[in-house]
Amino acid sequence: MNYKMTPAQVQSAIREKLSHIYGVSAKNASDDEFYKASALVVRDLLVRGRDEFVHEAEKQETKQIYYLCMEFLLGRSLKNNLFNLGLEDSFRKALSEMGVKLDNLYEQEPDAGLGNGGLGRLAACFLDGLATQGYPAMGYSLRYEYGIFRQKLVEGWQTELPDFWLPGGEVWMQKVDESAIEVHFDGYIEEQWHDHYHSVRHKNYNPVMAIPYDLYVSGMDGKGISVLRIWRAEANEFDMKLFNSGNYMRAMEQKAMAETITKVLYPEDNHYEGKSLRLAQQYFLVSASVQDIVRRHLYTHSSLDDLPKLAAIHLNDTHPVLAIPELMRIMLDECGYEWDAAWDIVTRTIAYTNHTVMSEALECWSADLFKSRLPRIYQIVEEINRRFWIEMRAKGVDEGKIWRMAPLNDGYVRMANLAVYATHSTNGVSALHSEILKDSVFHDFYTEWPNKFKNVTNGIAHRRWLNQSNPELASLITELTGDGFIHDAAQLEKLMKYKDDTSVQKKLAEIKLHNKQRLAEHVKRTQGQIVDPNSIFDVQVKRLHEYKRQHMNALHILSVYQWLLENPNADYTPHTFFFGAKAAPGYYFAKEILQFIVCLADTINNDPRVNQKLRVIFVENYCVSWAELLTPAAEISEQISLAGTEASGTSNMKFMINGAITLGTLDGANVEIHDAVGDDNIILFGMTTPEVNSLRASGYNPRNQYEHNDIIRKAMDALGQGFNGKTFQNLHQALLNVDQYMALADFASYSHAQQKAEQLYKDQTKWNSMSLVNTAKAGIFAADRAIRDYANTIWLAKPVETKAETKKK
């Protein structure tokens, strides 16, 4: 499809939307109305492009990719779609002639509240990569009314407020009422389990309607368009009989309980009601999505026999794993398949990506809760489990091993076990992570089915995180190497010939300074804090969790603060440390770490003895839009998780492509970054994964670090005493007595790495050369490459051929 529009055509289209949709003239329209009108113009283009793309895919019988994930962290859509469709210049000129600034319209759009962290951002990047590579794809998730919470800091403590994102974000959604689906909870089983599975019926008293809304994500040049279908929960119907009989509250309660399912992303689950709601969310997502997939397939095919050939269903982490028993339910109860035939189709269609190396983080559900909310699905899981035991015993597998692998054991439904057993592929998301899965987390499964296990290292939408977020750097790369890297990130390698070119290094330094100045202005405007753009920008932004070790970073900053007070005339390159993170609402220890960082920042920033040399900025309500400012400005990328705990990471890739130097452990994709850039262009510290395992096995005692390292002891004592009237005894005692993620064990090595970074930074020629190498070597971390890996090794899918590509053949 040709997406080109002249400025005159853009103006005409915007005026039409303003008049017919919003009832205003261009002369009287607000920036918000101009933003929404522009969004609708772009959405119309995307809908037409998607229709053409799907038509061509159906003609070629291309395999459909269905990507299920509890979250998609899209960020803003207007800028991304205008860039990918090549329309930004036309819109900028058209709007300028109408007296409107396009950049002001970008600011009208809220970040879509559909995700939280790396998992959701990865899914969003993959929609871009799927579209650009020409794979027909649909993402499936939930239409969270409030999404992830809006973070507000009150005396340093995280407070969660609702994120009202829909008023500005809804314009991108196309409601599809005719595709609504009924999802069933609770109820009872009509018949006892027997061999005629298709005759078993689940009687339901509590149906909920899943109303679909479609968002469109363009690939580069609009070659392909991905769709993200998100489901809103609504009551099936309002019970007038109940209401008219005087049971007003009961009638309203039924409606409210149904709609609660899609109110909030990740409700607290440290109580029964929260666990029940999370389980309901997960089943609501998979039931609506799998029913939709089956309906789409049967619209053009007579049976589900060829589903594995024409569809790939991908489960991004354990949240959507109930897709397995749900697809079995549909095939058994609604399509009349016998068990073995249904199981064969299900296992060849569905694949699973694991995102954690920590076995304690693998999702489990109480069998009692599961059975009460999803009786038919539980019954199917029981039968999967029964047959699993028969299969394993027939193979002569040890009973203890079978028990560890079983989908149902010890009173719990074990989602990861179910996923690995019932899918044809399980992949990790970095080379190290995938090896850990085979060696420890899923070792039992690996010994039985080694061919199931694969690796696909994560990737990022490099056009968004380089071209859109850092246009000056993208322009320089185009000037030096051409624009081939936009479609093929591997061509960034061409930059290597400029590694020692001082004129290029100077330009890189100027671009970095401009990005730092842009960030400093934004921080001052939004948070009222002063930042020195000539200081080192050291950045750690990611979900707040103990294993990511934000507290180690902060403890080191505290030690630097103490050192500067003792050595006021010391030669120290000014530093600004940036943090951005949200802690899960029920994760109180993470909230204490966050409060420690904020209180430490207040203490340092208000101390005139040091605040010209050292500043700490905590970005409130960190989100994609903040990341798009922080990433191009960063000079040091903090990737400091304990080795063997981070599956991959993607912020490390975003910082790398923008020329930041990774300061990190050999964990997750840092290992592959190190392989790409070499020893001289990364700053490594800390124990390796085998060393961590060895220390843990020998009996790690953090008090040894405290007692034998004066710097650690002084910093820890200050932590125990607290700041700004706040005490941090819980954090102090946890580090001193447990230190689960060995922050004190790695502290000395981390401090040395920070000193090394400061010394390297003083040689700007060397530093800028390192920065260039990082950008040049980042091509392998593009989402486009990751999608090709999935397509070639897991989905066995080919992209849609354009007419031009077909003619070339």
pLDDT tens digits, 681-723: 999 999 999 999 999 999 999 999 999 999 999 999 999 999 9
Q: Are 368 and 331 in contact (CB under 8 A)?
A: no
Contact at 8 Å (CB) between 134 and 219? yes
pLDDT tens, residue by residue, 196-214? 444 455 555 568 999 999 9
Contact present, 289 and 323 (Cβ < 8 Å): yes
Instruction: Find the mean pLDDT for residues 752-767.
Output: 97
Q: How far apart are CA 212 and CA 142, in angstroms?
A: 9
Neighbouring-strand partners of residue 175: 213
Distance between CA atoms of residues 316 and 626, nearest Å: 25
Asked whether the predicted pLDDT for residue 248 surpasses 60, the reply is no
CA distance 17 to 801: 34
**Rounded distance between C-alpha atoms, residue 632 and residue 771, angstroms:** 12
- Domains detected in the chain: 271-455 (3.40.50.2000), 495-638+645-775 (3.40.50.2000)
Helix (H, G, I), strand (E, B) or coil at 782: strand
Q: Exposure pattern of 18-29 as b/e (b: 16+ CB <10 Å)?
A: beeebeeebeeb
Catalytic residue among 143, 376, 543, 545: 543
Instruction: Report d(CA 579, CA 620) in Å as an integer.
Output: 9
- Please report the pLDDT score of residue 199 as a whole number: 47
Question: Among residues 43, 232, 463, 542, which one is catalytic?
Answer: 542
Among 121, 329, 424, 654, the one annotated catalytic: 654
**Phi and psi at residue 416, to the nearest 5°:** -65, -40
Average pLDDT over residues 340-363: 93
| Averaged pLDDT, 201-230 | 88
Catalytic, 543? Answer yes
Cβ atoms of 185 and 204 within 8 Å: the answer is: yes
- The whole-angstrom separation of Cα 604 and Cα 574 is 13
Alpha carbon dihedral 337, 343, 344, 348, in 10-degree steps, equals: 120
Question: What is the spatial distance between Cα 500 and Cα 771, in angstroms, rounded to a whole number?
Answer: 11
Give me the pLDDT at residue 804, please. Answer: 64
Hey, what are 192's tokens? 């006892």
Helices and strands per DSSP (H, E), number in the chain? 35, 23
C-beta separation of 798 from 63 below 8 A: yes
* pLDDT surpassing 50 at residue 265: yes
- Using DSSP's 3-state secondary structure scheme, residue 223 falls into coil
- pLDDT tens track for 159-207: 999 999 999 999 999 999 999 999 999 866 655 444 444 445 555 556 8
Question: Is 132 marked active-site?
Answer: no
**Strand 426-428 versus strand 412-414 pairing type:** unpaired
Q: What count of other Cβ atoms lies within 10 Å of the Cβ of residue 723?
A: 20
Question: How large is the average pLDDT for residues 726-739?
Answer: 96
Q: What per-residue confidence (pLDDT) applies to 236?
A: 78
Among all chains, which residue has been given the structure tokens 């590694």? 499
pLDDT of residue 540 exceeding 70, the answer is: yes
Interval 411-421 mean pLDDT? 97
Give the helix/strand (H/E) hosting 557. Answer: helix 550-566
**pLDDT band for position 358 (cuts 50, 70, 90):** confident
Write down the catalytic residue from 184, 355, 462, 785.
355
Helix (H) or strand (E) holding 655: helix 651-657
Mean pLDDT of 259-267: 89
3-state secondary structure of 323: helix
Q: How confident is the model at residue 88 (pLDDT cuts 50, 70, 90)?
A: very high
Quote the tokens at residue 524.
């001052």
How far apart CA 669 and CA 786 sit, in angstroms, is 13
**pTM, entire model:** 0.95
pLDDT at 20 over 90: yes
Distance CA(555)–CA(301), nearest Å, equals 61
Higher pLDDT, 148 or 656: 656
The residue whose two tokens read 């589900």 is 304
pLDDT for residue 223 is more than 80: yes
At 364, which helix (H) or strand (E)?
strand 364-366
Give the pLDDT band (50/70/90) at residue 246: low
C-alpha closest to that of 512 among 767, 261, 315, 341: 767
Largest CA distance in the chain: 83
pLDDT at residue 238, as a whole number: 56
Mean pLDDT on 548-574: 97
pLDDT attached to residue 203:
56
- Residue 121 and residue 649 in contact, taking contact as beta carbons nearer than 8 Å: no
CA distance 132 to 462: 12
Active site residue 650: yes
Choosing from 50, 121, 516, 548, which is the catalytic residue? Answer: 548
Residue in 423, 650, 689, 775 annotated catalytic: 650
Measured in whole angstroms, the distance separating CA 558 from the mean position of its chain's CA atoms is: 31
459 close to 787: Cβ distance less than 8 angstroms: yes
Q: Residue 495: pLDDT above 80?
A: yes
User: What's residue 802's pLDDT?
Assistant: 76
Token duo for residue 436: 């850990």
User: Amino acid identity, residue 277?
Assistant: L
For residue 803, with 0-12 CB atoms within 10 Å meaning exposed, 13-18 middle and 19 or more buried, which class applies?
exposed
Nearest-angstrom CA–CA distance, 642 and 743? 8
Residue 140's alpha-carbon distances to 28, 180, 364, 600, in angstroms, are 38, 14, 22, 41
What long-range pairs does 89-92 form, CB within 8 A, spacing at least 24? 90/4, 90/5, 90/6, 90/7, 90/9, 90/10, 91/10, 91/38
- 293 falls in which pLDDT band (50, 70, 90)? very high
Least confident of 95-104, 186-195, 244-253, 400-409: 186-195
542 is catalytic: yes
Q: What is the DSSP string of 425-463?
A: -EEESSHHHHHHIIIIITHHHHHH-GGGEEE----B-HI
Say if CB 62 and CB 797 are below 8 A apart. yes
Average pLDDT of the chain, as a whole number: 94
- Token pair for 499: 């590694």
Specify the DSSP class assigned to residue 720: H
3-state class (DSSP) for residue 607: coil
Per-residue model confidence (pLDDT) at position 249: 60
Assess contact for 366 and 269: CB atoms under 8 A.
no
Distance CA(142)–CA(114), nearest Å, equals 8
